[in-house]
Amino acid sequence: MPEMSGFEFLEFMALESFPETNEVLLVTSSESEADREEAEKYKKYVKEFISKPLRIEHLEDYLQGSYKAK
């Protein structure tokens, strides 16, 4: 993201008390365990941690499951 990192955005969401209904799909080129652990801090927002390259099937599976749950 041009203005801030994804983790900075998640911190902003937490500080501004965004409702948990604002779901985030974290799509990253990182496969590091440290980044997964960092994302875990924001688990009320981060509903999926997806490593690039993005497989459209993974995204479709998530979206179909997400809409079924609502």
The candidate with the shortest Cα–Cα distance to 50, out of 21, 22, 25, is 25
Q: Using CA atoms, how far apart are residues 35 and 13, in angstroms rounded to an integer?
A: 18
**Does some domain include residue 42?**
yes
Query: What beta strand segments (E) does 1-70 contain?
Result: 24-28, 46-51
19 versus 61: which is more confidently predicted?
19
How many structural domains compose the chain? 1
Q: Using CA atoms, how far apart are residues 31 and 68, in angstroms rounded to an integer?
A: 28
**Does some domain include residue 60?**
yes
pLDDT at 65 (0 to 100): 82
**Does some domain include residue 39?**
yes
Summary mean pLDDT of the chain: 86
Average pLDDT of the residues in 19-36: 88
The candidate with the shortest Cα–Cα distance to 26, out of 56, 46, 41, 11, is 46
Average pLDDT of the residues in 27-49: 89
Domain residues for the domain of 61 are 6-69
**Does some domain include residue 1?**
no
pLDDT band, residue 17 (cuts 50/70/90): very high
**Does some domain include residue 64?**
yes
CA atoms within 13 A on the CB side of 3: 2
**Does some domain include residue 20?**
yes
6 versus 70: which is more confidently predicted?
6
